[in-house]
Amino acid sequence: MLILLCLILSVFFTKPAFASNTSGLHLTQTSDINSAYSIINSSGGDWGWATIVIRTDQLEKNMWQEFMDNCRKYHIIPIIRISTRMENNAWVRPTFTDIDNLSNFLNSLNWPSTPQYITLFNEINHGQEWGGEVDIKNFVDTAIYATDKFKSLNPNFFILTPGLDLAAPEQPNKFKNFINVYNEIKLYKPEYFNIFDGLATHFYPQNSKKDFNSELRYFKKDIPIFITETGWKHERPYTCQAAATFTLNILRSYSVNPQVKAITPFIYNYPYPPFEPFSWVDKDEKLLPDFQIIVDEPKTKNTPLQTTNLAYQRIHLPILMFSEKEYQGQIFLKNTGQSIWGEIPFCLKPLASTNITLDPLCTDNTLIFPGQTKIFSFKFKIDSTNLFAKSYIAWEKVGPIEITPLTSNSVIYRPKTGLKQQFLDFIRKITKKLIK
């Protein structure tokens, strides 16, 4: 009782608020994002983190693109932990072909932000995690190949180490102590310690007091740190209230370290053996009430980089246009980037033209998600003071779209391209009306 009282008092007398937005959760399946986001980004938080495992037997494009789209919609930065599949109660040891399939698949997805975070496998100092037997040299060769492969496909992949079990004993073939793991790597291929962009680490103070500071001596001192697993079991002798309080104290203690970028406690939704004592929700997928203290903890905002790209599809202009008369056109642009147009300011300035005045292309309050097309209406006018110059309609990243005079000295213009598409659109409209 005295220990529990001290824990409760520590929550009320510790300065509340994460110094940086490290807030996150470790998810079980892609659908978890639809409820977990409100916990991750609670109490003032924005663009928190989610760690999730992808398996070689679960490379379903629609499912994973939907997950990425939901991360974008809910402002979550994903950390994807690559894995293989379970066989004979162990994770199958990955082949280079597995690496190729995983990297190509993940590169085919439209991620919500840049960089794209990948962590290589899990606790490889457990034999069960590496085909049934610890083999550090084989893992190192695989990790070096994987890092090269991901980076060759996309330099925006941000590669994290596997999180090791810092409490594992030295038991040949089954377990290997993490210090012996690093010492073996140092003798075998010391370049391993320089290939990673960040350190993924697991911290379970219930099992061991060792944290990432025990690992940093092997890596660059300023390497970014991602605590992709942490937490406290809510089972005897610890109540759920005690476990939630301990977990909150972990988050508070490590979020003040500027080197720590994300903390994703294990595990949000797994109320069944063997991880039921770690689950934040019950079998009805309701948040355990004691974890509300973490939801209520004040959080801050991240501002991740998002690329904004577009694809020009077509333009509608009048078939004939007279100089000094204002006209209206329409242009079709597809969102091919990471950002949501309208959620962030989106406005394309017209490029200078010798004889055309032109409106900018700006979004209104409508949100245009990646993959969607926006029809922009605009006004323009041809200046009669310079009729013989070549005339272009163009904006940043769009155009030039040429319009030409009917004759060399004509004041009447026509689009140089796009008439065929406009004619087809006209036929479609007429056909629809006739069908109705």
CATH number (domain holding residue 353): 2.60.40
pLDDT level of residue 305 (50, 70, 90 thresholds): very high
Q: Average pLDDT in the 60-71 region? A: 98
Residue 268 included in any domain: yes
Q: No. of H helices and E strands in the chain? A: 9, 20
Structure confidence at residue 387 (pLDDT)? 56
225 & 347 share domain = no
pLDDT level of residue 411 (50, 70, 90 thresholds): confident
pLDDT level of residue 317 (50, 70, 90 thresholds): very high
Rounded Cα distance, 160 and 80, in Å: 10
414 & 365 share domain = yes
One-letter amino acid for residue 60 of the chain: E
Residue 230 included in any domain: yes
Structure confidence at residue 432 (pLDDT)? 58
Matching residue, tokens 């009306």: 433
pTM of the model: 0.89
Residue 378 included in any domain: yes
Buried b (16+ CB within 10 A) or exposed e, 61-71: eeebbebbbbb
Q: Number of structural domains, the chain?
A: 2
Structure confidence at residue 9 (pLDDT)? 41
Q: Which residue has the higher pLDDT, 415 or 44?
A: 44
Structure confidence at residue 403 (pLDDT)? 86
Rounded Cα distance, 76 and 79, in Å: 10
Residue 302 included in any domain: no
Percent of the chain at pLDDT exceeding 70: 89
266 & 325 share domain = no
Q: Average pLDDT in the 38-43 region? A: 97
Domain boundary among 295, 327, 352: 295
Q: Which residue has the higher pLDDT, 89 or 407?
A: 89
User: CA distances (Å), 3 to each of 9, 235, 242, in order?
Assistant: 10, 15, 9
Structure confidence at residue 404 (pLDDT)? 84
120 & 245 share domain = yes
Average pLDDT, the chain: 90
Structure confidence at residue 8 (pLDDT)? 41
pLDDT at 138 > cutoff 80: yes
- Please enumerate in sequence order all residues whose Cβ is within 8 A of that of 415, keeping only pairs 6 or more positions apart, or say none: 315, 317, 319, 401, 403, 422
Q: Which residue has the higher pLDDT, 192 or 322?
A: 192
User: Which of 95-99, 194-198, 405-409 bottoms out in mean pLDDT, i.e. has the lowest?
Assistant: 405-409
What CATH number has the domain bearing residue 171?
A: 3.20.20.80
Structure confidence at residue 414 (pLDDT)? 86
pLDDT at 13 > cutoff 70: no
pLDDT level of residue 428 (50, 70, 90 thresholds): low
pLDDT level of residue 41 (50, 70, 90 thresholds): very high
Rounded Cα distance, 155 and 265, in Å: 28
- Please enumerate in sequence order all residues whose Cβ is within 8 A of that of 199, keeping only pairs 6 or more positions apart, or say none: 160, 161, 212, 215, 216, 219, 223, 224, 225, 226
365 & 330 share domain = yes
Name the DSSP class of 371. Answer: T
70 & 175 share domain = yes
Structure confidence at residue 436 (pLDDT)? 56
Residue 15 included in any domain: yes
pLDDT at 228 > cutoff 90: yes
Domain boundary among 235, 267, 295: 295
92 & 209 share domain = yes
User: CA distances (Å), 388 to each of 293, 318, 354, 403, in order?
Assistant: 72, 20, 10, 12
Please write down the long-range contacts of 314-320, taking CB distance under 8 Å and 24 or more positions apart.
314/418, 314/421, 315/393, 315/401, 315/415, 315/418, 316/418, 316/422, 316/425, 317/393, 317/403, 317/415, 317/418, 317/422, 319/414, 319/415, 319/419, 319/422, 320/412, 320/413, 320/414
Structure confidence at residue 14 (pLDDT)? 43
104 & 252 share domain = yes
Q: Average pLDDT in the 148-177 region? A: 97
Residue 343 included in any domain: yes
375 & 414 share domain = yes
DSSP for 202-249, please give it.
Answer: EE-TTT-S--GGGTGGGS-TT--EEEEEE----STTS-HHHHHHHHHH
Q: Average pLDDT in the 289-309 region? A: 96
Name the DSSP class of 365. Answer: S
Residue 359 included in any domain: yes
Matching residue, tokens 């009782």: 1
159 & 31 share domain = yes
Q: Which residue has the higher pLDDT, 434 or 150?
A: 150
pLDDT at 348 > cutoff 80: yes
pLDDT level of residue 236 (50, 70, 90 thresholds): very high
What is the number of residues in the chain?
Answer: 436
Percent of the chain at pLDDT exceeding 90: 78
267 & 316 share domain = no
Structure confidence at residue 423 (pLDDT)? 47
Residue 1 included in any domain: no
Structure confidence at residue 46 (pLDDT)? 96
Domain boundary among 295, 323, 348: 295
For residue 160, the enclosing domain spans 9-295
pLDDT level of residue 264 (50, 70, 90 thresholds): very high
213 & 330 share domain = no
